[in-house]
């Protein structure tokens, strides 16, 4: 049973300053604690596979590991710190010693999240948490309310996307370790920023993964893209479920993280009576009751299954929100993306109109790409339960050459795509550098030490892009240059048109925050209409006091349309084609819809009408 009030796995200290050691190894005949001074202390065994010990032989900073059945000592699977990397002994870190200054912090309402996703290694040249702290004022000025930090679980070497972590409790040493992450979170809270941490509960990386030496963390009962699945419902799964539940609770309770983004939960295989995600959510709810701090779980899920988001009373898992890839796919096709690979299922404008209305494009119809009927309805779910974006780490980094939107579409289309996200009734997410049109790619990179594994990664990348028609080669994931090329170029902000674009984003975000219609995540007071022949999408949103009419022209031609069905006089609220934003012309400040309206190529006009 996971502990709500304190960490109960790994090494922790009690009120008497004794180290309480706990490790799960159900198949072991013996387990011994091995310290950096070569001391060996046997642990005591219980009938559920846990081995425990209280000792004064460990102090903060001590190095230690565990010997299973007399074999060579291995790092602690619940290690908090791996200063020597994934293959060396663990370091004792006292999680309760940090002097927090965020006592007055209150997490934002989820509906107020404006998310900025970043990768610690490539966000700055220094590639660490301390350097992120230096950019917080910039993010505040931009209008961000929450940063999302890609995975920081210890991985091999000093550079990795983060999804090859093998110590879920340990914070990457080259980023600044656990203390560095705590300082970053504390600094964010003092500036009013929430922190989302990306975690991976669907697989473990291939190098430095010693969990299977301790117990059946992996089951061959199911297959995933990474091999066997995490054992959430096979024999001995109780210890595995506790391990990951404790991990989620630790980030919230001990690191003051505000939300977790759970990677690819469709790859979590669990047919238990209670799904592991529901179990984690229930424990998080208990923690909130205990501490008074609000925490959120946000999932990435490719199943279009509303059970994940529905409450337990409705037969669901109660997860707070999910990433919505289908909004992204429909938006990209509307903006000119070729219908190949996973974009093949999307027709663009009509599907984008549906995504605005229903979040899921596929919610019970036949999918040509999947060759089956797919998805469920989202009736009853709120707008803040869905996160939308025009790009993210996956949709950029999983391209063969890691191209960002700025190198794929025109400046005017970048502005239109940004507006398409921010006028939605969903939570907007931006990927680092998007706001100023970063031109460096975001490539897939690793720093493994096993030559055979490195070659397997290279071949895996080639296999991944077979569905996409190209004769180009993927950059070498292992090469240092691949990583360096993926870093942001912060000096671009002071150059044009990048400076103009970042000011555009600031204005757009300010409008999202201050306009009474855009500031609500009520997706039910909304209508959409796709004028396919002209490639124009109409999005109407309203409250009792105000109505917005958003006209999005995805074509590269000036379009003239009639709006007889939207009577009255409308005032211009926002115009992406205005001269102020390097556009060709300003639209009229007011518009009587008895007259035709001209919409510039690849642009959006937002009109407002207030009600007495």
Residues marked active site are found at 263, 300
Nearest to 101 by CA among 13, 171, 178, 184: 184
Rounded distance, CA 268 to CA 275, Å?
10
Helices 237-255 and 177-190: crossing angle in degrees, nearest 10, is: 50
Start-to-end Cα distance in the chain = 57
Q: What are the angstrom distances between the C-alpha of 332 and each of 135, 370, 558? A: 29, 19, 20
> Is there a contact between 555 and 602 (Cβ–Cβ < 8 Å)?
yes
Structure tokens at 4: 């709500």
Structure tokens at 512: 């999202």
Rounded distance, CA 362 to CA 169, Å?
36
CA angle 29, 32, 36 (to 5 degrees): 155
Rounded distance, CA 431 to CA 402, Å?
13
DSSP state letter for 363: S
**Strand 259-262 relative to strand 194-199, pairing:** parallel
Q: What are the angstrom distances between the C-alpha of 449 and each of 206, 454, 457, 475, 485? A: 11, 8, 12, 18, 21
Nearest to 549 by CA among 587, 507, 501: 587
Nearest to 192 by CA among 245, 258, 126: 258
**Strand 146-149 relative to strand 194-199, pairing:** parallel
Rounded distance, CA 84 to CA 99, Å?
25
Region of 177 (left: φ > 0; alpha: ψ -120 to 50; beta: rest) is left
**What is the edge-to-edge ordering of all strands in the sheet holding 569-575?**
526-531, 536-542, 546-553, 603-610, 569-575, 590-592
Half-sphere exposure of 375 (CA within 13 A, CB side): 20
Rounded distance, CA 236 to CA 557, Å?
62
**Strand 559-561 relative to strand 546-553, pairing:** unpaired
> Is there a contact between 60 and 19 (Cβ–Cβ < 8 Å)?
no
The alpha-carbon radius of gyration of the chain (Å, integer) is 25
Burial class (CB in 10 A: 0-12, 13-18, 19+), 398: middle
Rounded distance, CA 330 to CA 328, Å?
6
Region of 102 (left: φ > 0; alpha: ψ -120 to 50; beta: rest) is alpha
Rounded distance, CA 177 to CA 128, Å?
9
Which phi and psi angles does 556 have, rounded to 5°? Answer: -95, 20
Half-sphere exposure of 443 (CA within 13 A, CB side): 25
Q: What are the angstrom distances between the C-alpha of 447 and each of 76, 455, 522? A: 22, 12, 44
Rounded distance, CA 100 to CA 118, Å?
23
């Amino acid at each position: 049973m996971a502990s709500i009030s304190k960490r109960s796995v790994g090494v922790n200290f009690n009120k008497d300053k004794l180290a309480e050691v706990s490790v799960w190894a159900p198949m072991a005949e013996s387990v011994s604690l091995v310290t950096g001074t070569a001391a060996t202390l046997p642990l005591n065994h219980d009938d559920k596979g846990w081995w425990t010990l209280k000792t004064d032989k460990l102090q903060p900073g001590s190095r230690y590991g565990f010997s299973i059945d007399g074999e060579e000592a291995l790092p602690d699977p619940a290690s908090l710190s791996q200063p020597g990397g994934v293959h060396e002994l663990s370091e004792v870190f006292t999680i309760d010693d940090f002097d927090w200054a965020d006592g007055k912090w209150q997490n934002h309402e989820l509906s107020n999240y404006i998310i900025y996703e970043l990768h610690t290694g490539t966000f700055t040249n220094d590639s660490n948490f301390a350097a992120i702290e230096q950019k917080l004022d910039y993010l505040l000025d931009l209008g961000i309310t929450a940063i999302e930090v890609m995975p920081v679980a210890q991985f091999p070497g000093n550079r990795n996307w983060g999804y090859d972590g093998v110590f879920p409790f340990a914070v990457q040493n080259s980023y600044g370790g656990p203390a560095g992450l705590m300082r970053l979170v504390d600094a964010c809270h003092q500036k009013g920023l929430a922190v989302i941490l990306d975690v991976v509960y669907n697989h473990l990386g291939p190098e430095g993964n010693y969990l299977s030496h301790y117990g059946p963390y992996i089951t061959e009962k199911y297959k995933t893209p990474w091999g066997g699945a995490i054992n959430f419902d096979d024999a001995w799964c109780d210890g595995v479920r506790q391990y990951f539940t404790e991990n989620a609770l630790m980030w919230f309770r001990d690191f003051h993280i505000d939300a977790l983004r759970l990677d690819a939960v469709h790859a979590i295989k669990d047919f238990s009576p209670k799904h592991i995600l529901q179990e984690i959510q229930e424990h998080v709810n208990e923690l909130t009751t205990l501490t008074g701090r609000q925490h959120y779980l946000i999932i990435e899920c490719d199943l279009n299954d509303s059970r994940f988001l529905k409450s337990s009373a409705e037969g669901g898992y109660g997860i707070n929100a999910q990433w919505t890839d289908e909004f992204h796919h429909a938006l990209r096709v509307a903006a000119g993306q070729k219908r190949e690979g996973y974009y093949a299922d999307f027709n663009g404008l009509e599907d984008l109109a549906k995504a605005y209305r229903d979040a899921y494009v596929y919610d019970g119809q036949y999918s040509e790409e999947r060759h089956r009927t797919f998805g469920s309805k989202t009736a009853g779910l709120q707008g803040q339960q869905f996160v939308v974006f025009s790009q993210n780490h996956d949709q950029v980094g999983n391209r063969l050459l890691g191209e960002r939107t700025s190198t794929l579409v025109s400046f005017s289309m970048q502005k239109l795509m940004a507006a398409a996200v921010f006028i939605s009734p969903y939570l907007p997410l931006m990927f680092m550098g998007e706001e100023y049109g970063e031109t460096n790619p975001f490539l897939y990179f690793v720093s493994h030490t096993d030559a055979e594994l490195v070659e397997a990664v290279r071949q895996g990348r080639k296999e991944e892009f077979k569905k996409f028609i190209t004769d180009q080669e993927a950059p070498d994931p292992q090469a240092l240059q691949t990583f360096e090329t993926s870093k942001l170029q912060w000096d671009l902000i002071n150059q044009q048109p990048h400076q103009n674009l970042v000011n555009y984003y600031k204005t757009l975000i300010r409008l999202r925050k201050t306009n009474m219609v855009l500031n609500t995540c009520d997706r039910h007071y909304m209508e959409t209409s796709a004028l396919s022949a002209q490639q124009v999408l109409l999005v109407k949103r309203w409250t009792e006091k105000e109505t917005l009419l958003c006209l999005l022209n995805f074509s590269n031609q000036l379009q003239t349309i009639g709006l007889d069905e939207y009577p009255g006089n409308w005032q211009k609220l926002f115009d992406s084609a205005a001269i102020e934003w390097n556009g060709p012309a300003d639209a009229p400040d007011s518009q009587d819809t008895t007259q035709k309206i001209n919409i510039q190529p690849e642009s959006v006009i937002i009109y407002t009408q207030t009600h007495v």
